[in-house]
Chains A and B, each alone.
Chain A
């Protein structure tokens, strides 16, 4: 059995885990991070992309609002390249109480959030597709964040400080000795090989899967109730500003322009299992109705894809108390020594992408305290790699880059403007045979045609680069098609159904994927 030693083992490669690895590595700890799949392929990769100004919480949860105000400012400083400075609007739709605006402004003042009421006409000129019936409009420094880029940036930063990032490694057991967690046994999901990680401390940042992890150390009584949130990406930017409905947070009250799409979200429905979160037509309908309130005609616009993420709600089954304060989005460190008498293990619960840095800081601070060492957190001051330009992301970036190489390079993913060079470099670097990994990393196949044209090309290129054999390449292709279908069938109407049917003609009618030698993986 292969062995790896590290001071700190981080379990979970979402936004929190990557932030924790980055924080700990910057403080000089020797870190190993494991994730059962790719980075940001769970909850983090399945949110709407909003970098909160805090405005959504100012009335209901001033503490969360304050955290957002501070962290928003810090992240704009340290990961600017992952953020698009869209700005945010809070609008009173005809169904909302205009008087809420006063509570909102008061809350903003208390939280230090620079919100301003603007003329409704001005808001409509800035966002012509907004509901012309809105009665009030306020600006706030909301933004959108490319979570894949942010997570990879922090994980790469950790790696530059000698952290080892092990994707597709799932934890199969925790090692304990004398009431102390001493590491974990992990399995490489691609090769099936197992590996023992000896770690001085284990940080559990596995979110909705956290209870499953701590059970391996014999810790009972932590319940994680997955709260399912669905989001629908509309095929282009219906708005260029984050638009929030000015009311207490509710279902379908936010529209986020993120890269080339706009995402409408979200719901909060309790699910039984974080790995079983199907989207129903009824939920889609509800989201579209809600979207119509913000942008009339949204139902006639093209929906691209729907996805669901699981917001973990932690409950202490011993005391009956929720471990995250209220069902709010604020996070907490669970001290397993105090609670369960298990040393060497901390769990971080709750939270959101906007406060990922603060969560990491709190968790690593708590670890330092238990270890009796003092090392200052530096993540508020150091930019992880990928943010060297120090400029906010701009939507036209890929178009500008493409313009420079027109006629020199093949365009593989035409919707998201992924050139062959970028794709080949990423394939080489990742060494992954999973086209879905390329999707998250490059947005390959994330545009309107949903891989209809690029995935065959990417398969051909992958086959050559990774020296796959035919059936392996076919398996990658089929896996992508199945994964893609998962995200489109609940929203197949209108234009996206046309696209799906054309894609059927390509993959079934033209390429006959179904009858490839050994194509459909068991």
Chain B
């Protein structure tokens, strides 16, 4: 079977491609593209998406390798006034391109954060030292093209799942299933724990479905659609029982949440997977979920004061939810907290994009505006919904970055 066969042309996948018909060439996507605005290596979303797609057929190899410089941030789709699914078209085309050019070992590796986590955990201190050793990082750069300067998180000694197995959430009328993602599980288990504690404080019983692995997003971003599909389906099967029981699922990894809510269906074309449909229908970004409670007057808002200045940056993937910035509304409930809203659309990392040696500088240039804003506002903290963005921003600014939930956790007097 040819790599360009019609797997990608399922109902929704096909609709993504057909949306190129709506493009009127207006250039709005180009003016917002974080990547093409800092480097000519990427010819821009309009070119790579609706324009180039007219020249692609299943019978021919994709000739436009520049497409690989698209970071997949999705901003083009968000700003397009005509309804062209530009990022989705690009993502599908990039996958076909990479099936032709092959996917480098590096991308195969970084696309599987849970594998890295699993391999790294038993020897976490050693692994972390290894990952921080300049010598070894230089070697890794030469060997596999992982930029030696790029932020790589520490693998935690104990996973969030291990903590959750021991934890009993007090029964409550309102229950959610927590989709923690690889970040909380392998790298930031404390953040996962605090999420559970906050939800419980707010009167929500938290179930943590066992055996949660990677949702497939990094694989999808790296063009590895087939393994991405099996990852997404596997993850969906873990969460589907909760959804089937009418329990909403909340996630703190906003990109992964978006993946299961929408992208796996739209980009990977997994419309015929019932568990994924059920999970997708019940999936909420955690801030979105808390604001829903707030809109209904059901959110406990007795937060204590946090006298500090923070910059809130809504990651591009969070904006992909189309829910506005609920974190801003939640943080506004915290007395004495001064929140500066980031005016940047993207920090540059785009998941694993900025880790690659040929793209690291681009990622830094994309985020330059945000980094300057963080510095200029003398922020004590950066607040951001996505872990890879937080690691990147921390790395670039030296200012610690946390999930909005962490601040609410503090303001609730829990930490």
Contacts and interface: CB of A to CB of B under 8 A. Distances in A.
Q: Do A and B bind each other?
A: yes
Interface of A: 125, 128-129, 235-237, 240, 260, 301-302, 394-396, 398-400, 402-403, 406-407, 411, 414-415, 417, 447-449, 452-453, 495, 498-499, 502
B373 interface: no
Interface stretch (B61-69, B274-282, B330-338): B61-69
**A399, A407, A495 interface centre (most CB from chain B within 10 Å):** A399
A447 B20 CA distance: 12
A417 B55 contact: yes
13 contacts: A125-B6, A129-B14, A302-B22, A396-B55, A396-B57, A403-B63, A403-B64, A415-B54, A417-B51, A449-B24, A449-B25, A452-B24, A499-B24
Contact of B55 (A125, A129, A395, A502): A395
B23 A448 contact: yes
Contact of A128 (B14, B47, B59, B61): B14
A403 B57 CA distance: 17
Contacts of A415: 25, 51, 54
**B23, B46, B47, B55 interface centre (most CB from chain A within 10 Å):** B55
Contacts of B55: 260, 395-396, 398-399, 417
A495 B6 contact: no
A495 B20 CA distance: 10
Interface of B: 6, 9, 14, 18, 20-26, 40-41, 43, 46-47, 51-66, 82
B51 A414 contact: yes
B60 A448 contact: no
B25 A452 contact: yes
Contacts, number: 83
Given A415-B51, A447-B54, A395 B40 contact: no
Given A415-B51, A447-B54, A396 B24 contact: no
**B14, B21, B43, B60 interface centre (most CB from chain A within 10 Å):** B21
B57 A240 contact: yes
B26 A502 contact: yes
Contacts of B54: 235-237, 260, 415, 447
Nearest to B43: A406
Given A125-B6, A302-B21, A406 B57 contact: no
B55 to A, nearest CB: 4
A236 B53 contact: yes
B63 A400 contact: yes
4 residue pairs, one from A and one from B, having the closest CB atoms: A400-B63, A302-B21, A399-B55, A260-B54
A141 B14 CA distance: 27
Contacts of B43: 406
Contacts of B22: 302, 495, 498
B53 to A, nearest CB: 7
A134 B59 CA distance: 23
B66 A396 contact: no
Nearest to B51: A414
A473 B53 CA distance: 33
A302 to B, nearest CB: 4
